[in-house]
Amino acid sequence: MMAVLLFCAAAVPAEIIPGQAVSWSDFSYITTLMTTNNYVWFGTTEGILKYHRYERRWEDPITASDGLNGHQVKRMATFFDEAQLTVETEAGIYSYHEGLGAWYLETEFPESDYQDCRIRVPMPVLFLPPGYTMSPDGYFSDNQLRNWKFSAELDDQSGTVFFGTWGMGPLKADDRTYTAEFLTYGLLQKQTDALYIDGDSLWMAGNGGNAVSAYGPVRQGVTLFERSRGRFTHFETRYIPGFDSEIIYDIAGDSTNLYFAGQYGLTVMRRSDGNCVTLARGDGLPDRECTAAAVGRDSVWIGTAHGLAFYRPSTDSAMIVADDILGDFFITDLQLIPGRLVIGTDKGAYFIDLVNLKVGRLKDLEGILRGSIRQMTVYDKYLYVASSWGLAEIDLTTEKSTSVPYTDNPSGVYAVAAGDRYIAASVGDGVILYEKKTGRMRRFTELDGLLSVNINVMVGEGDMLWIGSEEGLTRFKWVNPDRVD
């Protein structure tokens, strides 16, 4: 019956090319479960997770970046040895067939193939990881008395019971001892404002919003993505001694430490043991709200909501710099270039000469550098500055500034990334990608796999763009050879 439904259904319009974009979000709210020969599938409020239960690894998630229409998964079923996946979301019922490479709108869900994953009442008491306790009424709590509920349960008939939780993600337990462990995957919080590539690791964080939402307790802090292993680690900062901020604006690092600029200071995390200490106004910062960080050879420059500071990790305090000029500025970004520190502020772009510590203003004929600076990046011999008035390219050899083509936009440019062949700019309704050699322009939106066009930060890495938005993180392959514009 489903085969007939599949070929009679109408194809869902989409321009998404398989593999062009992969996205991650907050997958901690589990709505349903399903098992197949090798996999456990977790339906969530942001897409589908696929866990290989024997090899204990995750496949890439299935989200809007893969053409899935809707976010909240209600039910799932598979057919033809997993070659066809049928999903019901808040937007409707859809099937994806590998041979056709597209999603199709269905008229009904195959009720007979749906796996019942309702929670048993009463539940067996699970032995949760340290710091968590549960009650047989289907709830569990941490040592700060925050409560979550179990939302789904499914026995794989092979010795393991898999659970979904509402706010803490997937969990599995031995069906004899009921010893349980969390299966952490995805982002701690979906809004992504800060990205830092640290070798194979990708660190990210953002503004998690209020401490409580309609979904329950909000978990805030930092996410670590070890890319080659496909492994995520969550650092919920309320549990970490010495880590005072839950909202993080910027991340930087050197060989010894990681630096997190947050709403309550600059947190220094020692790589060797994870020990944290936070610098605040009492340690010499001009303001407790730290908004940017840039790492030099033996020092860290710290941008705040009211000025700039300089910190040497070998000491215990910071020093305010050029307070008479920068003290009234909200610093949005910092970039080190040869001999200078470039300072992005809400009142334009400035610099400090690192030899004589004199402050100057960056200027351009178009006035882009006088706008509110949103993001800056350096690639090769060029500095790119995204502002509320556009995108400027500054030649660091000649100091000549020009406007990047196709980036004129009434609301300016929100984020920028650059590579050998391209300049990418977020312009509010998508990402403009300008190819340097050909002068060609392409625009990418949700139809190409972006989770959102409201982009907060971008980082280029080879042929990939890492894009942080209000909906999560996207790895975007802009040079996909299968794409036809």
Mean pLDDT of 88-111: 90
More confident residue, 195 or 120: 195
Per-residue burial over 410-434, b = 16 or more CB atoms within 10 Å of its CB, e = otherwise? eebbbbbbbbeebbbbbbeebbbbb
pLDDT at 289: 97
**Most confident option among 18-22, 294-298, 373-377, 443-447:** 373-377
The pLDDT assigned to 4 comes to 39
pTM of the model: 0.93
The whole-number pLDDT of residue 478 equals: 84
Structure tokens at 88: 């019901």
Omega cis (within 30) before 122: yes
Which pLDDT band, with edges at 50, 70 and 90, does 212 fall under?
Answer: very low
Question: For residue 6, what pLDDT is reported?
Answer: 37
- Structure tokens that stand for 386 in this block: 């995204």
Question: What does the pLDDT average to over 390-400?
Answer: 96
| Class of the domain covering 194-477 | mainly beta
Mean pLDDT confidence for 428-446: 93
Identify which has the larger pLDDT, 314 or 312: 312
Region of poorest pLDDT, from 112-116, 155-159, 408-412 = 112-116
Mean pLDDT of 325-341: 96
Share of the chain above pLDDT 90, in %: 80
The more confidently predicted of residues 226 and 480 is 226
- For residue 80, the model assigns a pLDDT of 72
Per-residue model confidence (pLDDT) at position 482: 52
Same-fold call for 2-113 versus 194-477: yes
pLDDT above 70 for 145: yes
- State yes or no: pLDDT of 5 exceeds 80: no
Q: Which residues contact 271 (CB under 8 A, 6 or more apart)?
A: 253, 255, 256, 257, 258
Averaged pLDDT for residues 273-301: 95
Residue 443 has pLDDT above 90, yes or no: yes
- Please state the domain extents for the chain: 2-113, 132-182, 194-477
Inter-residue contact 372 to 354 (CB < 8 Å): no
The C-alpha atoms of residue 321 and residue 367 are separated, in whole angstroms, by 26
What pLDDT shows up at residue 214?
Answer: 59
13 pLDDT band (50/70/90 cuts)? very low
Place 15 in a pLDDT band, splitting at 50, 70 and 90. Answer: low
The per-residue pLDDT for 209 is 59
Is residue 451's pLDDT more than 70?
Answer: yes
SS3 content of the chain, % helix, strand, coil (to 5): 5, 50, 45
Q: What average pLDDT does the structure give for the chain? A: 91
- pLDDT higher for 135 or 1? 135
What average pLDDT score do residues 228-232 get? 96
The pLDDT of residue 208: 67
The phi, psi pair for 447, rounded to 5°, reads -70, -15
Structural contact between residues 323 and 286, judged by C-beta atoms closer than 8 angstroms: yes
For the record, the structure tokens of 365 come out as 């004929």
pLDDT confidence bin for 210, thresholds 50/70/90: low
Q: 2.40.50.140, 2.130.10.10, 1.10.10.10, 1.20.950.20: which CATH number matches 2-113?
A: 2.130.10.10
Q: Report the alpha-carbon angle 320-335-398, nearest 5.
A: 120
Question: How many residues would you count in the chain?
Answer: 485
Q: What is the DSSP string of 381-415?
A: TEEEEEETTEEEEEETTT--EEEPTT---TT---E
What are the distances in angstroms from CA 54 to CA 37, 173, 424?
10, 14, 40
User: What is the pLDDT confidence band of residue 8, given thresholds at 50, 70 and 90?
Assistant: very low
- Residue 10 confidence (pLDDT) above 70: no
